[in-house]
Amino acid sequence: MWPDLGGPVTDACAERRAEEAAPSDPAERRIGPLARRLPPIPASLSCSETFAIFEGQPGLRGLAVQEEGRPLGMVSRDTLMISITNPVRHALYERRPIRLLMNRSPLIVDAEMTVDEVFELIAESRGAALGEGFIVTRGGTYLGVGSSLDLLRESVLTQRQRILELELARRAAEQASEAKSSFLANLSHELRTPLNAVIGFAELLESAVVGPLNERQLGYLRDIHGSGHLLLRLISDLLDLSRAESGRLDLFEEQVGLSALVESGARTLSPRARSHGLELAVDLPGDPLLVLGDERKLLQVLLNLGTNAVKFTPRGGRVVLRAGIDTDAGPFFEVEDSGIGIAEEELPKVLETFGRSDDPFTRRTEGAGLGLSLCRAFVELHGGRLELASRLGEGTRVRAALPAARLLEAEQPRLERA
């Protein structure tokens, strides 16, 4: 059943306000504001008079036709042009009523439908509405007419607007990243200067240059010294992470022996492991395992992973540092522990910057949540990936997997650092 198309044309100001409030996403864009607010023509209007209307509206593809307030159909610009411009047909239709050339079953859409929904209807109509256009109603009342060209134009404009918005968002993100990097660099300088002075004076006092100290005083100085170095490492980690996120962290590539790297890490971690009552073991391949990489960054990854393993493994547990070649021929090193483990739902969180597990044991331990995110940044800078596997109450294994292309032959000469 046809809706009532004989109502008044909707107020243009109200439509303009609706258009300004319309969403920019084409999936949400409503068809109402795009309708041409043209009153329907009477069915008795002659074909030549209708042709004059089309001549005055070059972009108009179709007109709604009504009679005594009752809709009859829609007349297509193309159909009318063919009939009027042909001499024989012109003589036949010039003075005849337009109802003879109209489509009696036009496409009718509601103003609240989206642009995408109307495109679907046009496609389902097998292209009939592609040339002549369609009628737009709101609540059953005639609003205007539209065309596929109007929809295409709107889609193009919307797409351009979205591209511009994305470009502006990208520039804003770059500026924010630059501001963050600049802030961290300045903050680092401002913090390092007094921290180095504090650490230096603590070392000076600890050496008893100003006189002998009792055990209690020495303990205080060791706390000052240790806390100062901890804060310096945190500042360095923040700067490295900021550079990695902005793509300004460089690799100083050289030939690195993974076995030697693991052994060096084990020597560094051994005192801490002993103090925690842990067994620290290494598992290395029989043949030399050489890779092309940044030795300092790879060692930092290993030490961060090892420190976490020692921190979260209860007394009597075991930590293993391992190196080898994966099934895809890629070299790797990893740290495996028999510690408290991580719940499956917490795994994504601990890889995020400042991310930490919410279990009570983790909350009691020190740390800013930078370690794993920085490790992942360093490994990905090498083209690799950081793999995390854990079971709550059983332990954790974190692997730094490097691409096979970084594996070197054992006899390859050592590269000099640039």
The pLDDT, as a whole number, for residue 166 is 87
pLDDT digits (tens, 9 = 90+) for 325-378: 988 889 999 999 999 988 888 887 777 755 455 554 444 445 444 678 888 889
Q: Are residues 261 and 377 in the same domain?
A: yes
Question: Based on the domain organization, do 290 and 342 belong to the same domain?
Answer: yes
Burial class (CB in 10 A: 0-12, 13-18, 19+), 368: exposed
Question: Do 270 and 357 reside in the same domain of the chain?
Answer: yes
Does the residue 308 lie in any domain?
yes
- Domain identity same for 142 and 30: yes
Tell whether 414 is covered by a domain.
no
**Residue 161 located in a structural domain:** no
For residue 414, how many other CB atoms are within 10 A of its CB?
11
Per-residue pLDDT of the chain (418 residues; tens, 9 = 90+): 344 444 444 444 444 444 444 455 545 678 778 878 878 888 888 888 888 888 888 777 788 888 776 677 888 788 888 777 777 777 777 788 888 888 888 888 888 888 888 888 877 765 666 667 788 888 777 888 887 777 777 778 778 888 888 888 888 887 877 777 777 677 777 777 787 888 888 888 888 777 788 888 888 888 887 777 777 777 777 777 777 666 677 889 999 999 999 999 999 999 889 999 999 999 998 888 999 999 989 998 999 899 989 999 999 999 999 999 988 889 999 999 999 988 888 887 777 755 455 554 444 445 444 678 888 889 999 999 999 999 888 899 999 999 999 998 754 444 444 4
User: What is the CATH classification number for the domain harbouring 92?
Assistant: 3.10.580.10
Q: Between vectors from CA 349 to CA 344 and to CA 355, what angle results, nearest 5°?
A: 140
Q: Is residue 339 part of a domain?
A: yes
Angstrom distance (rounded) from CA 137 to CA 154: 19
- Same-domain status, 209 and 301: no
The pLDDT of residue 143: 81
Q: Residue 398's pLDDT is what?
A: 94
Task: Report yes or no on 65 lying in a domain.
Answer: yes
262 plus 397 within the same structural domain: yes
Burial class (CB in 10 A: 0-12, 13-18, 19+), 353: middle
Is 260 found in the same domain as 229?
Answer: no
Question: Residues for the chain: how many in total?
Answer: 418
Is 138 in contact with 14 (CB distance < 8 Å)? no
Domain stop point among 185, 215, 245:
245
Instruction: Judge if pTM exceeds 0.75.
Output: no
Q: What gap in Å lies between CA 30 and CA 369, rounded to an integer?
A: 46
CATH at residue 403? 3.30.565.10
Q: How many domains does the chain have?
A: 3
**Is 121 part of a structural domain of the chain?**
yes
Is residue 59 located within the same domain as residue 184? no
Q: Indicate the residue among 209, 227, 245 that finishes a domain.
A: 245
Residues 259, 297: one domain? Answer: yes
Structure tokens at 296: 């300092």
Q: In what order do the strands lie in the sheet with 70-76?
A: 41-42, 62-67, 70-76
- Domain range for 110 is 12-146
Q: Rounded to 10 degrees, what is the CA torsion of 173, 175, 179, 181? A: 70
Buried b (16+ CB within 10 A) or exposed e, 216-245: eeeeebeebbeebeeebeebebbbbbbbbe
Helix or strand run (H / E) with residue 178: helix 148-206
Domain for residue 94, yes or no?
A: yes
Same domain, 18 and 72: yes
Same domain, 206 and 78: no
- Single out the residue in 200, 227, 245 at which a domain terminates: 245
Residues 240 and 259 both lie in one domain: no
Would residue 101 count as lying in a domain? yes
